[in-house]
Amino acid sequence: MTRIPEEDRTIMEQSFYLPMVLTVLNRDLSVINQSSFKLKQPYLDLIEETMKAIQADLKEVKIYMRKNQLQVQKMKRDESFTMFLFLYKGYEEHHNYFNPRLRNKVEELLEYYFFKRYASEEQGKAEA
């Protein structure tokens, strides 16, 4: 049983998911730069703008975590699982994540940042 509220745990998870997404996008940038695309710039622009949005969100996550005394540390990784230590206001919890689950979550986040965030931004503007 975890002592960490759902909202805080979600933010703590973002502290390791978002850097993973940035790693994937950095690799994609290098692949595109080395590729023989005729028109590389639109792809590069899309990835760079997406990376800026992710970096802004990661900054907010770090500020929130610092303000609320939250920390996450990667403990160990094997071929199936990755273990993280969550430090929550003086309490320690170990959380194991199945590596395919991590990959799937990173893929979901990529889809969100490439496509769905624009839809949610438009919906927010329409409600305002």
Q: How many residues does the chain have?
A: 128
> How far apart (Å, rounded) are the C-alpha atoms in residues 116 and 90?
36
For 62-93, the pLDDT digits (tens) are 999 999 999 999 999 999 999 999 999 889 99
Q: What is the pLDDT of residue 37?
A: 83
- pLDDT digit string, tens, across residues 23-75: 999 999 999 999 888 899 999 999 999 999 999 999 999 999 999 999 999 99
| Max avg pLDDT among 14-23, 30-39, 107-116 | 14-23
79 Cβ partners below 8 Å, 6+ apart?
99
Residues whose CB is less than 8 angstroms from the CB of residue 56 and which lie 6 or more positions away in sequence, other chains included: none
Q: How far apart are CA 111 and CA 109, in angstroms?
A: 5
Beta bridge partners of 46: none
Q: What is the pLDDT of residue 120?
A: 66
